[in-house]
Chain A
Amino acid sequence: MLSRIRRILRPFLGIAFFILLWHLATLGNKRTDVAGPYLTLLGLRDLLLQGVLLKNIVASVFRVAWGFALAALVGIPLGLALGRFAVLNQLFNPPVQILRPISPIAWLPIATLLFGRVRWFDPSDLAAIFLIFLASFFSITTSTASAVANIETKYVRSAQNLGVTGLRFATKVLLPAAMPQILTGLRITLGIAWVVVVAAEMLGVSSGLGFQVNDARNNLRYDIVLAAMVVIGLIGLLLDAAMRSIEKAELTRRGILRAN
């Protein structure tokens, strides 16, 4: 019982320690300087009172959702094919591996050139979605391909032996066999996408949490800059927790994790 309380308390203790360090490092700062925890809390209140926070959160999540979903839709089937067929892998893996280490932010000029004048829900939404797509696509494709390459031979042979081939083989054997590793890849990728969306919104966009950070800086409100950063962190944490619970449910059903 006591050890359980300790286990629950420790993360809070860690956060409290971090806030204390933050407080000490910013002692005596005004809100035009790097704000301390108390000023940040007040900044968060102001941010909420401004009434644009929710709109900016929705804008960022919306861009990530579209870019990430499109990347999964294209990247998972492509990854399955690359992992399964050596010829395709030899042909298409090199370009994927060369494009992958290019920061999606470097694509920004091209993205605005291509999509800058397209108006959808918000001008330049498409450019940001394009960047999220790029950030997610290479990562999802690569992790899916390696998931497929690691499938146990006996599953592939069982399917062959029972005459299951083609699309049926891909959807009924390849995809489910690779699913645990694909889900881990998706979770890590979603984390990358969330990092990238904020960076992408720093330039040429007028909504989103990245814009919020920039806007607050332009008004010399560093308390709001920090408040927005805290919001970004908390939403990232929520996205990760959501992906983790999907992953856990799948692994439990498969008996890889024990149900409790």
Chain B
Amino acid sequence: MSGPSPVKIRVEGLFKEFRTKKGAVSVLEGVDLEVLTGEFVAIVGPSGCGKSTLLNCIAGFEKTTTGTLLIDGAPVTQPSRKRVFVFQETGIFPWLTVSENVGFGLFDRSAKERDGIVAKNVALVGLEGFEKAYPAELSGGMKQRVEFARALAVESDVLFLDEPFGALDAFTRLEMRREIARIWKATGKTCLLVTHDVEEALELADRVAVMTRRPARIAKVVDVNLSRPRDSDDPAFRALKDGIFDFLGVERRV
């Protein structure tokens, strides 16, 4: 890396409360996080710690209660094509074909331009030959590839990944992790991943932010200075993993 990258996402003292019949429930209690341009950051934490809510706030889907939330120096008020969200169980549209899904955000381009961008991104995720297929005809991993292609086609510069591999089987999950690592390297997008899988976070991210439940904030950020592709059997990898589990107070042995 040459020189310091500018800050892409800045979160400072972020609070989020949900109003319920029994009163306000606080979900985020003073979250601080900084993501640099082109960086891959993972947020890990136990379920119910608010990490998905945090991602939904950063993506502009949910309003924050107080605190600073800036992307490229501007406050986030609504979702944008510049920053695309990849959903837990694929958010691609089952009523559209693969190409129609990939080109969905390109409605303001000419047909010719759109076809070119669609073809390029279908190729990037390795789905040539499936352009006319409906999602129902694809496997779970292939659907996830369609969603990545759709997110990349609009020339976004940030990808939000909300446990994108949660619904896949163990083998496909491994394959898709390699795939996202490859796409990230090839495109240089800023990636923010939310997962409860510490190993997944360490395999993919430059830095891993660890979130706790009480208080619901980022309690620790771990730098992952390991060369890629990463090996989960590498002692240095295991040491980082043990460190995070110890920090969260999780017993590792079954």
Interface residues of A (CB under 8 A from B): 154-155, 157-164, 168, 172-173, 176-177, 179, 253-256
Contact = CB atoms under 8 A, between A and B. Distances in A.
Given A154-B91, A176-B93, A253 B104 contact: no
Contacts of A256: 136
Contact of A164 (B80, B87, B107, B136): B107
Contact of B95 (A158, A162, A163, A254): A254
A163 B134 contact: no
A30 B85 CA distance: 74
Contacts, number: 63
Interface size class of B (residues with CB under 8 A): 20 to 34
A1 B81 CA distance: 56
A254 B96 CA distance: 9
Interface of B: 59, 61, 78-81, 83-85, 87-89, 91-96, 104-105, 107, 134-137, 150, 154
Contact of A255 (B104, B107, B137): B137
29 contacts: A154-B88, A154-B89, A157-B85, A158-B91, A158-B92, A158-B93, A160-B61, A160-B79, A161-B80, A161-B85, A162-B81, A162-B84, A162-B104, A162-B105, A162-B154, A163-B80, A163-B81, A163-B105, A164-B104, A164-B105, A164-B107, A168-B107, A176-B93, A176-B95, A177-B93, A253-B95, A253-B134, A254-B94, A255-B134
A162 B87 contact: no
Q: For the complex, would chain A's binding face be called helix, strand, loop or mixed by DSSP majority?
A: helix
B64 to A, nearest CB: 17
Nearest to A161: B79
B92, B93, B154: most-surrounded residue (chain A CB, <10 A): B93
A253 B81 CA distance: 29
Nearest to A158: B91
Considering the complex of A and B, which 4 residue pairs feature the smallest CB-CB distances, nearest first? Answer: A255-B136, A162-B105, A176-B95, A154-B91
A157 B107 contact: no
A160 B61 CA distance: 9
Nearest to B135: A255
A158 B104 CA distance: 10
